[in-house]
Amino acid sequence: MIVEQIWTGNDWRNFNYLIACPDTGEALAIDPLDHEKCLLHAQDQGWDITQVLNTHEHHDHIGGNAAMIDATGAELLAHKNARDRIVGIDRPLSAGDVIKVGSTVELEALDTPGHTMSHVCLLSHTDQQALFCGDTLFNAGAGNCHHGGHPNELYMTFSSQLATLPDDTLVYPGHDYIISNLQFTLSREPGNTDAEALRDDLLDQDPGNALVTTIGLEKAVNTFFRLRHPEVIEKLREDFPDLPAEPDEKTVFLKLREIRNNW
Ligand SMILES: [Zn+2]
Ligand SMILES: [Zn+2]
């Protein structure tokens, strides 16, 4: 499996992706908002884009569909419940569906509600798994729930699907927000030396050549995976004095999401 992370350089800081089969040159484009950059890269590599997948229905993820499909004739895949919000879905996806790219690549669709209620992530069936997570999980952060999502479902997705992935799973999110997310982690957990060192390392990172994190690294630096950490809880209790000394993970997640909304 070949993965190309394409930095759009736009104001929303989107990452687009091409996933290609090295044997056949067939490729799948994830959320190709910058269809020109995606097409150019595919042409350079001699790849044939046969599928477009939308992780969810927001404009900065589907805005390149029409031009990309016009240029390639690719099939469009998205969550089955996005049918009335994304025009022209050829293949509606449910949890567990397998998407083949060429002869060597298999990607599994995960049903991951929270950022919106019709959001899919893709998990590669490779030795070292890779997760393409749209706006559900960001490097060092979590998606918001302002435009059609629900924090309860986002928590369930994190706890029951993302946190259970192997530590070496590669994380490919839909946006580059890593610096501000690390700053948020540090605001909740000033003693997190891993997050501090990573923030210092990445301050002048070129997003065109971005660090690819893993689930293991996320568990060290992403406050939304650190729901039992004493410093996280202690600081939350300063903001919410009614919080018990040993709050459940869901309560901690929801409070962190609430604070992040206005941070
Ligand atoms: Zn979104
Ligand atoms: Zn987005």
Ligand nearest to the CA of 14: 2
Cα 5 to ligand 1 centroid, rounded to whole Å: 18
Ligand nearest to the CA of 13: 2
**How many angstroms separate the CA atoms of 219 and 221, rounded?**
6
- % of the chain residues with pLDDT over 90: 99
Are residues 63 and 40 in contact, defined by beta-carbon separation less than 8 angstroms?
no
10 Å Cβ neighbour count for 61? 27
Tokens (6 digits) for 259 = 């604070």
Enter the pTM of the model.
0.97
Ligand nearest to the CA of 82: 1
Q: How confident is the model at residue 127 (pLDDT cuts 50, 70, 90)?
A: confident
Of the candidates 197, 190, 250, the one whose C-alpha atom is nearest the C-alpha of residue 224 is: 250
Q: Which residues pair with 37 in a beta bridge?
A: none
Ligand nearest to the CA of 143: 1
Where in the chain does DSSP place strands (E)?
2-7, 15-20, 26-30, 48-53, 75-79, 91-93, 98-101, 105-111, 120-124, 130-134, 137-138, 141-142, 170-173, 213-214
Cα 169 to ligand 2 centroid, rounded to whole Å: 21
Q: How confident is the model at residue 39 (pLDDT cuts 50, 70, 90)?
A: very high
Cβ-defined contacts of 78-81 (< 8 Å, 24+): 78/53, 78/54, 78/118, 78/120, 79/54, 79/111, 79/118, 79/119, 79/120, 80/118, 81/117, 81/118
Residues 6 or more apart in contact with residue 234 via CB below 8 angstroms: none
pLDDT higher than threshold 90 for residue 167: yes
Tokens (6 digits) for 104 = 């060597």
Residues 233-244 have a mean pLDDT of 96
- % of the chain residues with pLDDT over 70: 100
Tokens (6 digits) for 137 = 């999980």
